[in-house]
């Protein structure tokens, strides 16, 4: 089958590899119909995630048709078109029993801090991802959700990660009616976090980035205020000026370890890898939020350490909340929002690219060319259908 194949930092290609097989009685094999490139895939692409082995197939946002199921699968049937949450989770362990599906303890032997994730290095379990024609889907009765007939597949694929992560980012900010919410990052997650902040009753939503076309997009799509941080001297002062000197009620980090905005952080965190990525957005969040405010983090950072002003967080009495999204728990409500017309996720898709051209797709997204916001890869078999 054809699959994306990682060859080293900034190098990928489409290549043939063996089709996946049922390896556990609870597995399914899914024929992929859509697969997105996520902003966090770029951390893999740039060589920042430890234990990313040459030959790995990335892709943790995908939909597909069930081709085969293992003997223990009772509910999922071949032929069903499913969206597959990026978390691989058992539904049974101590953490899954608390609905912390992203923290599942039973699907990733190589680390304890993170559960299993499709195509996201051996640090998250060593599973191949969905940027391929076929993919092994473990725990098939638990993770995949059958796509409702009235849901477009392009909307469905954004329910596998991007929309739930953006929603959970806003949700972890514990937004109350009228709150001022500042979101760092105008990529897909930041865009959905902005949209979600309104659903939760925010009074003001401000998105910060430096990429002009993305700021233009989020201003229109999420009807929010925008700030270009390159036009601002000091982010904390700027946000305080916008909020009567108090600071925002909620600050949300939707950027993670490759944030621009600080030469020192980029040098230490990205170039020299002496910390788990550039932590400038964490600085901005802690220093721009009001005393007693909330900071929500969904940006991905490396597993080592970051230099952050934790003393300020203590002195300001902040609540810091963070996690990978537990996609499955969000799906029923988010599907309702889509069906009610409150949000149309597929509007952020700017590029649909043949899986054969995966190298161009990664470069396009990584370098923010052609006003790229969200790229969907379509395998040749799905293109033909």
Site for another protein in 17-76 (CB under 8 A): 23-26, 47, 50-57, 72, 74-75
Residues 277-306 close enough to bind another protein by CB under 8 A? 302-305
316 binds another protein (CB under 8 A): no
Chosen residue from 68, 153, 200, 260 binding another protein by CB under 8 A:
200
Q: Quickly list H helices, the chain.
A: 41-45, 153-157, 162-172, 188-199, 212-221, 235-242, 263-265, 280-288, 310-316, 327-339, 358-366, 380-384
The separation between CA 291 and the C-alpha centre of its own chain, rounded to angstroms, equals 28
148 binds another protein (CB under 8 A): no
Residues 346-375 close enough to bind another protein by CB under 8 A? 357, 359-364, 366-367, 369-370
Chosen residue from 16, 109, 152, 237 binding another protein by CB under 8 A:
109
DSSP 321-381: EE----HHHHHHHHHHHHHTTS--GGGGEEEEEEGGGHHHHHHHHHTT-TT-SEEEEE-HH
Residues 214-253 close enough to bind another protein by CB under 8 A? 223
172 binds another protein (CB under 8 A): yes
Q: In whole angstroms, what is the distance from residue 350 CA to residue 341 CA?
A: 20
| DSSP assigned state of 229 | G
339 binds another protein (CB under 8 A): no
Nearest approach, Cβ of residue 213 and another protein (Å): 12
Q: In whole angstroms, what is the distance from residue 289 CA to residue 121 CA?
A: 34
Region near another protein per CB under 8 A, out of 79-87, 100-108, 180-188, 264-272:
100-108
The separation between CA 182 and the C-alpha centre of its own chain, rounded to angstroms, equals 18
165 binds another protein (CB under 8 A): no
Q: CB nearer to another protein: give 343 or 349.
A: 343
Helix (H, G, I), strand (E, B) or coil at 296: strand
11 binds another protein (CB under 8 A): yes
Nearest approach, Cβ of residue 336 and another protein (Å): 9
Chosen residue from 59, 125, 185, 187 binding another protein by CB under 8 A:
125
Contact 228, 212 (CB under 8 A): yes
């Amino acid at each position: 089958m054809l699959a994306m194949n990682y060859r080293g930092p900034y190098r990928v290609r489409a290549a043939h590899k063996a089709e996946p097989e049922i390896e556990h009685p609870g597995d399914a094999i899914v024929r992929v119909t859509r697969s997105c490139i996520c902003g966090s895939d770029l951390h893999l692409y740039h060589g920042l995630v430890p234990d990313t082995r040459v030959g790995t197939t990335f892709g943790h946002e995908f939909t597909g048709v069930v081709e085969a199921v293992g003997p223990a699968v009772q509910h999922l049937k071949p032929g069903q078109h499913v969206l597959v949450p990026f978390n691989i989770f058992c539904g049974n362990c101590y953490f899954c029993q608390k609905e912390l599906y992203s923290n599942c303890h039973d699907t990733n032997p190589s680390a304890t801090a993170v559960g299993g994730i499709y195509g996201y290095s051996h640090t998250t379990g060593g599973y191949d991802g969905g940027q391929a024609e076929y993919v092994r889907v473990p725990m098939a009765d638990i993770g995949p959700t059958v796509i409702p007939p009235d849901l477009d597949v392009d909307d469905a694929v954004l329910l596998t990660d991007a929309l739930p992560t953006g929603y959970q980012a806003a949700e972890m900010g514990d937004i109350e009616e009228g709150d001022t919410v500042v979101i760092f990052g105008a990529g897909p997650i930041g865009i959905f976090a902005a949209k979600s902040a309104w659903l939760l009753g925010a009074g003001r939503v401000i998105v910060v980035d430096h990429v002009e076309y993305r700021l233009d997009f989020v201003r229109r799509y999420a009807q929010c205020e925008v700030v270009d941080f390159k036009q601002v001297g000091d982010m904390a002062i700027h946000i305080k000026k916008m909020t009567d000197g108090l600071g925002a009620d909620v600050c949300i980090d939707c950027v993670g370890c490759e944030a621009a905005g600080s030469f020192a952080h980029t040098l230490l965190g990205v170039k020299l890898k002496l910390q788990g990525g550039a932590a400038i957005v964490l600085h901005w969040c802690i220093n721009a939020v009001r005393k007693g405010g909330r900071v929500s983090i969904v940006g991905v950072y490396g597993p080592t350490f970051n230099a952050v002003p934790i003393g300020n967080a203590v002195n300001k009495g902040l609540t810091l909340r963070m996690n990978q999204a537990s996609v499955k728990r969000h799906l029923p409500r988010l599907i309702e929002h889509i069906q009610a017309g409150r949000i149309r996720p597929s509007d952020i898709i700017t590029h649909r690219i043949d899986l054969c051209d995966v190298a161009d797709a990664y470069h396009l997204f990584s370098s923010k060319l052609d006003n790229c916001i969200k790229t969907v890869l379509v395998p040749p078999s799905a293109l033909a259908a």
